[in-house]
Amino acid sequence: MEKTLHPHVNNATGVIRVAFHTLGCKLNFSETATIARNIENENYKRVSFDSFAEVYVINTCSVTENADKRVKGLVKKVMHQNPEGFVVAIGCYAQLQPEAIASLEGVDLVLGASEKFKLNEYIKDLGKNSKGEVHSCEIDSVDFYESSYSVSDRTRAFLKVQDGCDYKCTYCTIPKARGVSRSDTLENVIQNAYNIADAGLREIVLTGVNIGDYGKGEQGNKKHQHTFFELIHALDAVDPIDRIRISSIEPNLLSLDMISFVAHSKRFVPHFHIPLQSGSDKILKSMRRRYLTPLYKERVSWIKTKMPDACIGVDVIVGYPGETEEDFLDTYDFLNQLEVSYLHVFTYSERPNTEAVKLNGVVPAQVRTKRSKMLRALSVKKRRAFYESQLGKTEEVLFEGENKKGYITGFSKNYVKVRAPWNPDWINTVKKVKLKEIDDEGIVRFSLVD
């Protein structure tokens, strides 16, 4: 394979600058942060993705719509910043479609699910390749676990506790991108929580592919050595952390006992994100989901019984093959009547090597778009109704570190977003506030409480 010599490796400092960009989920962010920490030493320095670097690493996503276009756009961007930059693609899309990414102009290296954690071994030679090199194993051989957590955000950390998935949902490529369900050891998770606290962060978000399945594959054991319930019990005793959020959990794995525990816990906040995907039992069965709408409704009802002010987010897919207008309206009506707080709406898109692409009843693109718009509008209505229900209440808000157009923003325990004029002294501090009104952008204004 032809290579061109890299003219910028020996810069004034002798340090190779590496820039990272992450697409997709919180799990990807936790892994990017860990990979970056692992290579930072006297030879490598992490820099902003918007700056000049010798190496650019793009952590890809298979769930994001138009994954190939997103990657193409990012490669074009970095080639403009440094035409001789060495471009590496890692992540789920890199595992699923390595040759497609390797053929993109500017891409030098593609690393699969196991190889991405050995990035430093693959970036010794930074000569540009005429075609991207691929280092990717078969996903069936990915049975080890890599601990990961992010501490780049100054207030909130993403803590990976589980990886992979044994579910067989017909539309999903994640098992093919990440392998079987496996978990970190309980001891490692607790130690990482203390590491996060030592870095000065106040909040942890638990993340994984299917975190409710935690304990399976722990220390190579195919059965569950611990349960997710045992994990949250143990984490609740980590004193230096103020808050812990459960990022996303399957409804069939979110037990009533877990909900009751969160309601009375010291650190777990009243905020749940529970994938639904469809409010039609016919479609749920076709998707091979492991629950039907009555169970989902029961979980939401139990949360609201135990924690009336809890925030509940929902994932939903529109335009799945065979979804009739009646099926969609079943979903809309089900969500409209549920006491949930916001929706993450995904427009179904065909994924190679999934069962769903073989199904009849393909929904036209314009119908998918229309249904998506309807649910996004419902989400706006739901979020506003939830925020309005919180006005007049006193909450503790953790403020974040980014200056957004002259404002500092923060979140209450139950995920109400507030903002105030920029004040750097508030970064990573908790303020007691009274929620007053909703501004034109749907964010809550407040007054400080002494």
Q: Which residue, of 89, 106, 137, is where some domain finishes?
A: 137
CATH number, domain at 66?
3.40.50
Q: Walk along the chain (450 residues) in steps of 10 and give the mean pLDDT of each run.
A: 45 81 90 90 87 94 76 92 94 90 92 89 82 82 84 84 95 91 95 95 95 88 86 96 95 98 97 98 98 98 98 98 98 98 95 93 97 98 98 96 92 97 95 96 93
- Are 58 and 127 found together in one domain? yes
The boundaries of the domain holding residue 82 are: 3-137
User: Three-state SS string across 240-264, please?
Assistant: CCCEEEECCCCHHHCCHHHHHHHHH
Q: Which residue in 213, 104, 196 sits closest to 156, CA to CA?
A: 196
In degrees and rounded to multiples of 5, residue 274 shows phi and psi of -125, 110
- pLDDT at position 152 is 67
What is the number of residues in the chain? 450
- 18 in any annotated domain: yes
Into how many domains does the chain fold? 3
Q: Which residue, of 99, 121, 137, is where some domain finishes?
A: 137
Distances (CA, A) of 239 to 11, 123, 205: 45, 40, 16
> C-alpha 150: how far from its chain's center?
12
Structure letter (DSSP) for residue 378: H
Q: Which residue, of 239, 269, 299, is where some domain finishes?
A: 269
- pLDDT at position 7 is 44
CATH number, domain at 430?
2.40.50
DSSP 119-159: HHHH-S--PEESS-EEE---GGG-------B---SSSEEEE
